[in-house]
């Protein structure tokens, strides 16, 4: 009986042993699965964090470049790649291989040695002209060990262009104001010096003073007009406008000027109507016809014509038969104060703002304006409404 109990006890112990082993293996497998799950979860979280980080950096307009402790690229965002036209995988490349600029490489070394470099301006080689502002800083560990360098690039090109435009504008306005003011002051001093006692001389001088005062008035009016147009402060009174009467009115106002030069004014417009601000449309045509008379050929013709386009717009042109405009100047004639022939323009007078005003008025109507010319064959200015 005891042997049977012994056998049963041994069998129970063996069964218990195998049960504990099975349970242990099951728990180990469960632990391994949990560890694997946690590892995968951490990996996914890290990948998501990296993806979010890359998305944030790629949404920036500033270029960001991170170098490791050996000066190799460890990260570059999309804006950086676009700034330097970098293609392919940049990670692991040397800085000079990426940007090909010794000045940027020296800047990175300075930042690594000094801790940071701020507001460094760099003009990139080549055309068109491009400017960057660079801020760089060394990346350090808690124990102050150098881990690498981060550089942030901000595109200053637009600001530089605006500053150049502002300086050019101020210079041109100063010149345009200085000339008539100097004439007014000179003739006034001469009158006060005794010329006023000669009626004929006094009358002639006063007429000159009045002419230059009128020139100042026109310049100020044009400056106010173009300022209002560029800021969107002028509201258009859009109504149906018949073009023929507008052109005839412009011709009647400029007839004396055209006759003095022997220029024939030809109205070849078909009976077209547009939706426009009549006063602003008159200003556009008056500026264009006045320019055509000024710069066209003496004893020549100035023609206004137009046609209806398939898209429902109206195209209008003003044509002269003068010396024309050089090809390189066709895109620039609508800039403020731009003059193809400065000496001739000064002689002819005017503020240098007429074509710029034309461009802004036409664009305010939703149209476009351009010029065509071949040197020696006249010039044609066209716009759509």
Is the CB of residue 304 less than 8 Å from the CB of residue 266? yes
Among the candidates 123, 155, 187, a domain finishes at 155
Report yes or no on 332 lying in a domain.
yes
One domain for residues 193 and 93: no
In sequence order, the 6+-apart residues with CB closer than 8 A to the CB of 355 are: 287, 291, 333, 334, 338, 381
Q: Are residues 319 and 224 in the same domain?
A: no
Instruction: Kindly state whether residues 103 and 202 are assigned to the same domain.
Output: no
Does residue 25 belong to any structural domain of this protein?
no
Cβ atoms of 338 and 328 closer than 8 Å: no
Q: How many domains does the chain have?
A: 3
pLDDT tens series, the chain, 385 aa: 567 767 767 777 777 767 777 777 777 777 677 666 766 666 666 556 656 766 676 778 888 999 998 889 988 888 888 888 887 888 888 888 888 888 999 999 999 888 889 999 998 887 888 899 999 999 888 787 888 899 999 999 989 888 887 787 777 778 778 888 888 899 899 888 888 888 888 888 898 888 888 888 878 887 888 788 777 777 888 999 999 999 999 999 999 989 999 999 999 999 999 999 999 999 999 999 999 999 898 899 999 999 999 888 999 999 998 888 888 888 888 887 776 655 444 444 556 788 988 999 999 999 999 999 988 889 999 999 9
Distance CA 252, CA 243 (A): 14
Does one domain contain both 120 and 141?
yes
Same domain, 170 and 301: no
Q: Identify whether 343 is part of a domain.
A: yes
Q: Do 358 and 299 share a structural domain? A: yes
Residues 219 and 119 in one domain: no
Give which of 117, 83, 89 is closest to 103, Cα–Cα: 117
Alpha-carbon span 17 to 104, nearest angstrom: 71
In a domain, 270, yes or no: yes
User: Which pLDDT score is estimated for 23?
Assistant: 73
Say if 295 falls within a structural domain: yes
User: Do 257 and 225 belong together in one domain?
Assistant: no
Residue 76: which domain range? 58-155
DSSP secondary structure letters along 109-125: HHHHHHSEEEEEEEEES
Residue 381 is predicted with a pLDDT of 95
Domain presence at residue 39: no
Q: What is the DSSP secondary-structure string of 228-263?
A: HHHHT-PPP-EEEEEHHHHHHHHHHHHHHHHHHHTP
Strands 301-308, 63-68: pairing kind:
unpaired
pLDDT of residue 345: 47
224 and 144 in a common domain: no
94 and 179 part of one domain = no
Give the end of a domain, one of 121, 155, 189: 155
Residue 15 lies in a domain: no
- What pLDDT is stored for residue 343 in this prediction? 46
- Looking at residue 193, which CATH number applies to its domain? 1.10.287.130
34 located within any domain = no
Last residue of a domain, one of 234, 251, 277: 234
Please tell me the predicted confidence (pLDDT) of residue 384.
94
Q: What is the pLDDT of residue 60?
A: 81
pLDDT number for residue 379: 92
* Helix/strand/coil for 66: strand
- CA 242 – CA 142 distance, rounded (Å): 78
| Neighbouring C-alpha atoms within 13 Å toward the C-beta of 2 | 0
pLDDT at 168: 76
Backbone torsions φ then ψ of 57, nearest 5 degrees: -65, -40
Query: Distance between CA atoms of 173 and 226, rounded to whole angstroms?
Result: 13
Query: Alpha-carbon distance 179 to 238, whole Å?
Result: 38
Tokens of 221: 């009016």
* CA separation, residue 144 to residues 6, 138, 150 (Å): 72, 10, 16
Say yes or no: 276 and 313 in one domain: yes
Nearest-angstrom CA–CA distance, 97 and 85: 12
Say what the pTM is: 0.58
Tell me, what's the pLDDT at 57?
A: 67
């Amino acid at each position: 009986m005891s042997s049977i109990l012994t056998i049963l006890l041994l069998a129970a112990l063996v069964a218990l042993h195998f049960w504990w082993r099975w349970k242990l293996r099951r728990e180990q497998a469960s632990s391994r699965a949990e560890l694997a799950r946690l590892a995968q979860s951490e990996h996914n979280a890290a990948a998501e964090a990296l993806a979010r980080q890359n998305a944030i950096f790629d949404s920036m307009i500033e270029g960001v470049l991170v170098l490791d402790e050996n000066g190799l690229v460890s990260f570059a965002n999309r804006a950086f790649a676009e700034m330097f036209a970098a293609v392919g995988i940049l990670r692991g490349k040397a800085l000079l291989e990426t940007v090909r600029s010794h000045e940027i490489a020296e800047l990175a070394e300075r930042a690594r040695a000094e801790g940071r470099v701020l507001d460094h301006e760099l003009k990139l080689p080549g055309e068109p002209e491009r400017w960057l502002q660079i801020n760089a800083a060394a990346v350090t560990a808690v124990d102050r060990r150098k881990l690498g360098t981060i550089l942030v690039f901000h595109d200053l090109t637009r600001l530089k262009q605006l500053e150049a435009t502002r300086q050019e504008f101020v210079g041109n306005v100063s010149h345009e104001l200085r000339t008539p003011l100097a004439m007014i002051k000179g003739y006034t001093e001469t009158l006060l010096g005794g010329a006023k006692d000669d009626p004929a001389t006094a009358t002639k001088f006063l007429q000159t003073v009045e002419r230059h005062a009128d020139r100042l008035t026109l310049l100020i009016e044009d400056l106010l007009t173009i300022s209002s147009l560029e800021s969107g402060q002028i509201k258009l009174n859009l109504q149906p406008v018949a073009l023929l009467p507008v052109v005839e009115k412009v011709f009647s106002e400029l007839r004396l000027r055209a006759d003095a030069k022997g220029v024939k004014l030809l109205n070849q417009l078909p009976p077209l109507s547009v939706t426009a601000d009549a006063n602003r449309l008159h200003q556009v045509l008056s500026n264009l016809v006045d320019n055509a008379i000024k710069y066209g050929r003496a004893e020549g013709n100035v023609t206004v014509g137009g046609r209806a386009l398939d898209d429902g717009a109206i195209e209008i042109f003003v044509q002269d038969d003068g010396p024309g405009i050089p090809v390189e100047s066709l895109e620039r004639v609508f800039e403020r104060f731009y003059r193809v022939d400065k000496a001739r323009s000064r002689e002819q007078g005017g503020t240098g703002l007429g074509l710029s005003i034309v461009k802004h008025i036409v664009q305010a109507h939703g149209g476009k304006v351009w010029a065509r010319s071949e040197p020696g064959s006249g010039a044609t200015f066209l716009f759509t409404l």
